[in-house]
Structure 1
Amino acid sequence: MNYRRSILSAAIVTCLGVAVQAQAQAQDAAPAPQATDLDTVIVTGIRGSMEKSLDTKREANSRVEVVTAEDVGKLPAHNVADTLQRLPGVNISSSSADEGGFDEADRVSLRGTSPSLTQTLINGHTVGSADWFVLSQGSNVGRSVSYTLLPSELVSSVEVHKSSQAKLQDGGTTGSINIITRKPLQFADKITAEASIGAVRSDQAKSTDPQLSGLFNYKNDDGTFGVMVQAFSQKRELRREAQEIPGGFFQIGDTDPAGISNPDLVGVYAPGLLGSTLFEQTRERKGGLVEVQFKPSDDLTLGLSGFRSDMDANNYNRNFMLWGGNFARAHAPDAGYVVKDGVLTNATYTGVAGQDYAVYDMIYREASAKSEYFTLDADWQINDNLSAKFQAGTTSGEGSTPRQFIAEVTLANGGGASWTSHGAGSPLDWNVGGDISPAGVTSFGTWGNQEVTAKDDEDWFTADFTQYFNSGALSSIDFGVRYADHKREALSPEGASPGDIWPALQNGATASYPGGFASDIGGVFPRDLWYFTPGALKEAILNNSTWLSNDDGPNGRHNYGGEWKVEEKNFAAYVQANFVGDTWSGNVGLRYVDIDQDINTYQAVADPANADVSSLFGNWIRTFTNNKHSRILPSANLKFELADDLLFRFAASQTQTLPDYSALGASSWGSDLNRTGGGGNPNLKPVLSTNFDANIEWYFTPRGLLSVGAFAMDLKDYVAFGTETQMLFSELTNQLEAYEVSVPVNADGKVHGLEVVYEQPIGDFFGINANYTYADGSTSHTWADGSNNLLGTSKDTYNVGAYFENDTFGARVSYTRRSSFLIGLSGANPYYQDDFGSLSAALSYKVNDHLSFTLDGLNLNNPTIKYYQSAVIPTSFYSNGRQYYFNVRVKF
């Protein structure tokens, strides 16, 4: 590994040095061509956008994929992430933590790796991001960006950089995604005004909701001043119907009563919780983008940009669960139970008086997420041979769950239970006996009525220069610096001290699960269920709880164990030489990165006398860790024109990504239901990847491409997860208890694979496109299931599509599929997402240049998103239904 890196670095340094020396001996450089003030031609239509994307890809010196919007608000898919998944080597996922699968893509990753190793930028700079889901706000916080905050209407094009360049911002091990917005001086007309009025229909939620967006752009006659304003207001109802097994299956121990009475059950896996799960949410996203450009002279362009996206995401999750972790330890099943491959696949338990067989969680959360940035730019042609770009900016993201209204009740006392497992591909059949109505509640509890807030902030400054030459092979040298101050923290400063809630709640309003609940996923399990309405739950808890703000005393509700902070100061400097010959071009460069990291977190202790702080959540000492990382990252990209329509590319680089914020900073936490949890490791090292990429591209016709490529990534200090026993504070016993906690660790890893792309126009109006990616990833870390899988690696990913377009009508259909991949740990158990495919289609009708209609359909095959622990142990099954977006677009 080290030998390979030294050879790569030495080769690039040598090339760079020789080029600079040769250029110094050359004649004085001739003036570089001046930038010409031409109106940008806005390409519209499916065919035009595909051709423009291929042209950009072809001309680039590095490995890059490009998606260009057909027109304002008209990406090839309604969601930005859904658009990107159709590119070779791109994968998407719909969740960031343990919230399970949804109907909308939320995270993007490249070439069989986790989303945290892929960097997302807007116009080349960082964007602060946070999530609406409570676990993603505190205990599971990555470095990826939530695409649910980025509406497609803002996007002009998206660049996916698969090979590194020294001038590109560091942070993406496997590559970076740059979302490019429009600029006011790019528009052809003096005044441009557009509006989109539409609706989204969610068939499972049986809801139709408004989707509104608009754009106004003005530039003066001289093209020296322009202002663009975009705004959006979009609402969407979601309903997800599922069977969940939270925390996965557990092993019956030799000290458990069931193991003592039946030794053949020792070490056998059984479901800790089997849930019939109904999730509903309202997402309301509002915001906008303002861009201002001013050219005081031909050589100087100044810019001001501001963006904000706010999303309210209140949600209600109901999970009625067979409580195997309670009774399956306490007594053995009836005679005739079946154990297969170490799993208790068929078991019936006769009820025991006083034993609860079901637990029911009803969790209503007020939640939100927001993202914003502001930038000042200056683009200056200093002289004929030297240009400069400066940018100062600030960005912030915040995810917040200010209130959680939670009821946890036990039911089915003495009623017994049963289950039958059919392997990882099918839901379990299960049932509990006894009274499961509100009258059958045997105990009531509320937990987690705690504020949780995530904050993500960065301030930065960049200065980039280009020195042009006009003789010899060296065409230009890029050099510059970047400084950024980034802070990510999780806060939980206040909560509720619950009073006597149950008397107020037990007679509160109730409602029923929807008719036909979870019929699409199959299985036989409780479906005719009741729940307290959100209003009844909220009212009972608010009226019978005391909310304490910033109470730091031993009786306060400040949850120090849920708090942590990571601060990073990042300085980078780079130099990159760009070459061009008659039939070749490329670049080599070095990027120096220096990072100073401060990590603040808390550790639980038993004795209050040894604690720095105390609350009802336990006693804690503050811990502080400082890490310093500096490294030179080399890169090289070469492109050879083998013929007029045939290119060969080769790239080599080293890239670095810092571990997830929560992997570094999160305090250890545990779940009392199954005594598992998670935590951070402040001593983690950055992931260093040595990358090689080769590709041959045949552009056999306009809009036509056949390409075949190979890639390899050697990952040093890749972040995996092990488990260890830690003593954590239990809210049930009010003392430290032993929990099996997942902890991030460094390990080596590797990924190698192939990419094949085919795009073919058929006549003037038709076309097809397809791509396939093979990725084989592994790590030196051995998971609890004995595997060496890399997080996020799907071995097979493919996309196929077809389109038709004439002057008035357009149609597109596409299908994408990825094979199973490792998600992470659920409790102490590795778990995977199963093979997943999605069908989408789009129709458009253009009445004239001022009026058009579009209809987009997503998840038309109504896929079930499946997760599993092993080939014989399922984890969850989610059904989200289909979505239809209808829009009327008007241009003035």
Structure 2
Amino acid sequence: MKHHKSVLSAAIVACLAVSAAAQAQDAQQEATELDTVVVTGIRGSMEKSLDTKREANSRVEVVTAEDVGKLPAHNVADTLQRLPGVNISSSSADEGGFDEADRVSLRGTSPSLTQTLINGHSVGSADWFVLSQGNSVGRSVSYTLLPSELVSSVEVHKSSQAKLPDGGTTGSVNIITRKPLEFADQITAEASLGVVNAEQADSTDPQLSALFNYKNDDGTFGVMVQAFSQKRELRREAQEIPGGFFQIAATDQAGIDNPDLVGVWAPGLLGSTLFEQTRERKGGLVEVQFKPNDDLTLGVSGFRSDMDANNYNRNFMLWGGNFARAHAPDAGYVVKDGVLTEATYTGVAGQDYGVYDMIYREATAKTSYATFDAAWQINDNLSAKFQAGTTSGEGSTDRQFIAEVTLGAGGGASWTSHGASSPLDWSIGGDITPAGVTSFGTWGNQQVTAKDDEDWFTADFTQYFNDGVLSSIDFGARYADHTREAQSPEGASPGNIWAALQNGATSPYPGGFASSIGGDFPRDLWYFTPGALKDAIINNSDWLSDNDGPTGRHNYGAEWKVAEKNFAAYVQANFSGDSWSGNVGLRYVNVDQDINSYQSVSDPANADVSSLFGQWIRVFTNNKHSRVLPSANLKFNLADDLVFRFAASQTQTLPDYSALGASSWGSDLNKTGGGGNPNLNPVVSTNFDANLEWYFMPRGLLSVGAYSMNLKDYVAFGTEKRMLFSELTNQLEEYLVSVPVNSNGKVTGVEVAYEQPIGENFGVNANYTYADGSTAHTWADGSNNLTGTSKNTYNVGAYFENDTFGARVGYTYRSAFLIGLSGANPYYQDDFGTLSAALSYKVNDHLSFTFDALNLNDPDIKYYQSSSIPTAFYSNGRQYYFNVRLKF
């Protein structure tokens, strides 16, 4: 028997209400005896999500919002991580983990291999963190700019189809917004008034959103307007080891004096790190639809989200990279597994043992898009959809107010390491107050701006057939012109800032700082207030622009641009039989890349441009890539409640923008850095997927599946020595630079998912994903790990809901995975789990209350270089959201 089930309306879901046991035993036999019960909320959204998943011809996971702004979690990315095979991360470069999910990836791969779309089209992305604006720019989208209020549903495509936009090697995420003509009522007005409390930041801030929708009586014209204004404070307390551990060299004085220390790992920097930020996100969405007749629907859409993200990072650090090279530790030091785990250094006169960075940045991130759509039913058997659009993302650090001081002169230092799972105990002696500062410097006052723009046009057609197994043919084309660039056009020539700053206002670190992460290290610390730091630098600096020519502070080494023209055309045949369906298709992709960057040179006569950051030559590279990408999806209805799927495809993702374009850059503190490689090939994956799904009752599912991805030209990172400009010495010096290289990789895995209602009001869900990833590339630590691969990921949850009250709790976990390189060393994020809960109370059809609690287990986010060498420990605290929802 061929089973069909209608997709339910956006507002209600019809389900059959009988005991779970009776339904599981013989739902078909009892169908005529069942009463129909209309449910919304948690149960309704779960039913609709499973209904969409079941009817799809490809492998897709679906999340449906219960109502406006009521996803199963407060954050879109947090919602997605509850799906099998989906991972999230809370940072995009090496800024460390925060309290909010920011990036989404699929099946044990990096976020750059997962494509994020809105209503099927690209969205320009931007980041607030300065490294993500310049040197570490991927192809993933920042979810911090996408409020949950926008979302009607989210589709996660795990298997490819020819008609889907190319760009997601491992899959794509399509965020679907509401449309005016889909609303049931002629006028809909809703508002959410609430607050968020950040426990660690000890701050409560407003969260406001509103929606108004109108459609005429005939359902031929509609307009929807959404707006949001949301603010919250973050405070992250941490121990950081920036750049990881270094190896003592035979040429270092410590190695000369103590040959047994040659090749031993020691901490370059050990930091007591306080980060604070205010995020204010404002924007909205406008959708207009018009149906001049039954065969034509026109639509215009515009979205914008702006976030102010000013932040202040203070990092008081033991400077091991300075003194641990210069002289050996006292007798009694301990070396274990090649690591200097215990060491005490008696102070040497004139030697600095500490360095303290205070960095206040004025940062913003914004994204927007505008589209025009036309859906035309040309005749009974032919339909067409057209879309033209533009999108733009921009991340900018307009000003960086930075003080770097050295201190602890002659006071000595010590540390004890306890392996990767615990912070180091460390201390430095000498005067570490402002009076003990031995030198002052400022760097990075440079403005940094990232721009991400795309214009596109698509034309999609469907030809339907009334007879035979060939049900329809989809065909069409897409053209996109995309640019991503990093700009650093001006900066400040510092004057006598220290004279103005040294007596400026200071504040102490907060009480109980970093108490949750453990370790014995400096916590009773001071810092210059943001106002004091900002005033001293602005009033004692000469802000210059590009027009100042060779004496100006145009940082060409931080600038690059990648321009891509992408043409694609596809044809897809869709089939259906009595108990099966599927599709087979081909997608042709042609990409033309222009890559512009700069390279340091020592001879001014050879330079194309110069500034206070050195001399540079322009480097231009053009790449052309064309490929045909096949795909096939088969679905078999083995029984009324049993579905088997099989999919095979080839998919492609272009390398990260900064991997292609970034000019070489370096850090003077540890003489490491990074750079791009314009000659990288795209990543091409050959994918296989099989899945068995048992829909044993309404809102009930048990599924098990396996997948494999063979990644050709996967992008990994090697290291090489390059001559780069040093701001400290104003000349070229040798740095150990991480450079992207093509390699091959593979991922194989298993996914298991289970959902079941218990009676009418309760339910449970769980899923587990196993991913085994490896690459042919050998990292510096000898491993062959694939970036982003957590071997084990699981989610468990439970819910209760009746007509007035709802409650939900969920726990999600992912095991350790490789992040990338920190300096020249691979580093990993340790296993990580979060507990969340949500409560709702419906007073009547017009008034309800919701309460969301995130990170209830107050997790620490841990990073490490090896089993013996930690990299960072972060504590962000819990967050609580309370909202009053009004519906008119």
Answer whether TM exceeds 0.5 for this pair: yes
Residue pair 1:604, 1:728 contacting (<8 A) in 2 also: yes
**Residue matched to 1:271:** 267
Q: CA-to-partner distance for each residue in 1:526-556, whole Å, 9 max, x for gaps? A: 0000000000000000000000122362211
Cα–Cα, structure 1 residues 42 and 615, in superposed 2: closer, same or farther, change >3 Å?
farther
Residue pair 2:7, 2:51 contacting (<8 A) in 1 also: no
Question: Hey, what's the Cα distance between the residues in 2 that align with 1:556 and 1:619?
Answer: 12
Residue pair 2:634, 2:646 contacting (<8 A) in 1 also: yes
Q: CA-to-partner distance for each residue in 1:18-57, whole Å, 9 max, x for gaps? A: xxxxxxxxxxxxxxxxxx9997544530000000000000
**Residue matched to 1:472:** 468
Counterpart secondary structure, 1:382: strand
Cα–Cα, structure 1 residues 41 and 209, in superposed 2: closer, same or farther, change >3 Å?
closer
Question: Hey, what's the Cα distance between the residues in 1 that align with 2:709 and 2:292?
Answer: 46
Aligned-residue CA RMSD in angstroms? 0.9
Question: Hey, what's the Cα distance between the residues in 1 that align with 2:547 and 2:337?
Answer: 51
Q: CA-to-partner distance for each residue in 1:665-715, whole Å, 9 max, x for gaps? A: 000000000000000000000000000000000000000000000000000
2:276 to 266, 275, 280: 280
**Residue matched to 1:260:** 256
1:611 to 601, 607, 614: 607
Say if 2:681 is the partner of 1:685.
Answer: yes
Question: Hey, what's the Cα distance between the residues in 2 that align with 1:209 and 1:75?
Answer: 21
1:366 to 355, 362, 369: 362
Counterpart secondary structure, 2:740: strand
Q: Supply the AA of the counterpart residue of 2:462.
A: T
**Residue matched to 2:22:** none
**Residue matched to 2:595:** 599
2:438 to 419, 437, 442: 442
Q: Supply the AA of the counterpart residue of 1:430.
A: W
Question: Hey, what's the Cα distance between the residues in 1 that align with 2:713 and 2:820?
Answer: 17
Counterpart secondary structure, 2:82: coil
Residue pair 1:493, 1:551 contacting (<8 A) in 2 also: no
**Residue matched to 2:136:** 140
Alignment of 1:803-882 (within 5 A): 803-882=799-878
Q: How far off is 1:172 after superposition?
A: 0.1
Counterpart secondary structure, 1:571: strand
Question: Hey, what's the Cα distance between the residues in 2 that align with 1:509 and 1:205?
Answer: 21
Residue pair 1:551, 1:557 contacting (<8 A) in 2 also: no
Q: Supply the AA of the counterpart residue of 1:746.
A: N
Question: Hey, what's the Cα distance between the residues in 1 that align with 2:264 and 2:743?
Answer: 30
**Residue matched to 1:431:** 427
Say if 2:228 is the partner of 1:232.
Answer: yes
Question: Hey, what's the Cα distance between the residues in 1 that align with 2:10 and 2:716?
Answer: 47
1:666 to 658, 662, 665: 662
Aligned length: 857
Alignment of 1:139-178 (within 5 A): 139-178=135-174
Question: Hey, what's the Cα distance between the residues in 1 that align with 2:837 and 2:681?
Answer: 44
Question: Hey, what's the Cα distance between the residues in 2 that align with 1:522 and 1:552?
Answer: 50
Q: Supply the AA of the counterpart residue of 1:63.
A: R
Alignment of 1:388-427 (within 5 A): 388-427=384-423
Residue pair 2:8, 2:48 contacting (<8 A) in 1 also: no
Q: Supply the AA of the counterpart residue of 1:836.
A: F
Counterpart secondary structure, 1:791: coil
Residue pair 2:807, 2:840 contacting (<8 A) in 1 also: yes
Counterpart secondary structure, 1:663: helix
Q: Supply the AA of the counterpart residue of 2:494.
A: P
Residue pair 1:39, 1:187 contacting (<8 A) in 2 also: no
Question: Hey, what's the Cα distance between the residues in 2 that align with 1:195 and 1:835?
Answer: 38
**Residue matched to 2:690:** 694
Residue pair 2:508, 2:525 contacting (<8 A) in 1 also: yes
**Residue matched to 2:94:** 98
1:772 to 762, 768, 775: 768
1:582 to 566, 578, 581: 578
**Residue matched to 2:544:** 548
Say if 2:189 is the partner of 1:193.
Answer: yes
Cα–Cα, structure 1 residues 266 and 380, in superposed 2: closer, same or farther, change >3 Å?
same
**Residue matched to 1:29:** none
Alignment of 1:768-807 (within 5 A): 768-807=764-803
Counterpart secondary structure, 2:517: coil
Q: Supply the AA of the counterpart residue of 2:311.
A: N
**Residue matched to 2:36:** none
Unaligned 5+ runs, structure 2: 1-5, 14-39
2:329 to 333, 351, 361: 333
Q: Supply the AA of the counterpart residue of 1:867.
A: Y
Q: How far off is 1:140 after superposition?
A: 0.2
Say if 2:757 is the partner of 1:761.
Answer: yes
Q: Supply the AA of the counterpart residue of 1:493.
A: P
Residue pair 2:11, 2:67 contacting (<8 A) in 1 also: no
Question: Hey, what's the Cα distance between the residues in 2 that align with 1:40 and 1:233?
Answer: 25
Residue pair 1:552, 1:614 contacting (<8 A) in 2 also: no
Residue pair 1:217, 1:227 contacting (<8 A) in 2 also: yes
Residue pair 2:190, 2:210 contacting (<8 A) in 1 also: yes
Say if 2:510 is the partner of 1:514.
Answer: yes
Q: How far off is 1:763 after superposition?
A: 0.4
**Residue matched to 2:372:** 376
Q: CA-to-partner distance for each residue in 1:383-425, whole Å, 9 max, x for gaps? A: 0000000000000000000100000000000000000000000
Counterpart secondary structure, 2:538: helix
Residue pair 1:310, 1:371 contacting (<8 A) in 2 also: yes
**Residue matched to 1:11:** none
**Residue matched to 1:343:** 339
Alignment of 1:118-133 (within 5 A): 118-133=114-129
Q: Supply the AA of the counterpart residue of 1:767.
A: G
Q: CA-to-partner distance for each residue in 1:564-614, whole Å, 9 max, x for gaps? A: 000000000000000000000000000000000000000000001000000
Q: How far off is 1:478 after superposition?
A: 0.2
Q: How far off is 1:105 after superposition?
A: 0.1
Question: Hey, what's the Cα distance between the residues in 2 that align with 1:267 and 1:286?
Answer: 52
Alignment of 1:725-744 (within 5 A): 725-744=721-740
Q: Supply the AA of the counterpart residue of 1:94.
A: S
**Residue matched to 1:748:** 744
**Residue matched to 1:6:** none
Q: How far off is 1:294 after superposition?
A: 0.1
Residue pair 1:42, 1:187 contacting (<8 A) in 2 also: no
1:181 to 177, 184, 187: 177
Q: CA-to-partner distance for each residue in 1:270-295, whole Å, 9 max, x for gaps? A: 00000000000000000000000000
Cα–Cα, structure 1 residues 517 and 39, in superposed 2: closer, same or farther, change >3 Å?
closer
Question: Hey, what's the Cα distance between the residues in 1 that align with 2:610 and 2:764?
Answer: 63
Q: Supply the AA of the counterpart residue of 1:114.
A: S
Counterpart secondary structure, 1:745: strand
Counterpart secondary structure, 2:551: coil
Question: Hey, what's the Cα distance between the residues in 1 that align with 2:157 and 2:746?
Answer: 19
Question: Hey, what's the Cα distance between the residues in 1 that align with 2:660 and 2:596?
Answer: 9
Unaligned 5+ runs, structure 1: 1-35
Counterpart secondary structure, 1:553: helix
Q: CA-to-partner distance for each residue in 1:742-769, whole Å, 9 max, x for gaps? A: 0000000000000000101100000000
Residue pair 2:77, 2:143 contacting (<8 A) in 1 also: yes
Say if 2:558 is the partner of 1:562.
Answer: yes
Question: Hey, what's the Cα distance between the residues in 1 that align with 2:646 and 2:443?
Answer: 56
TM-score with structure 1 length normalisation?
0.96
Question: Hey, what's the Cα distance between the residues in 2 that align with 1:789 and 1:891?
Answer: 50
Question: Hey, what's the Cα distance between the residues in 1 that align with 2:530 and 2:842?
Answer: 44
The alignment-based identity, stated in percent, is 87
TM-score with structure 2 length normalisation?
0.96
Question: Hey, what's the Cα distance between the residues in 1 that align with 2:76 and 2:560?
Answer: 31
**Residue matched to 1:643:** 639
Counterpart secondary structure, 1:785: coil
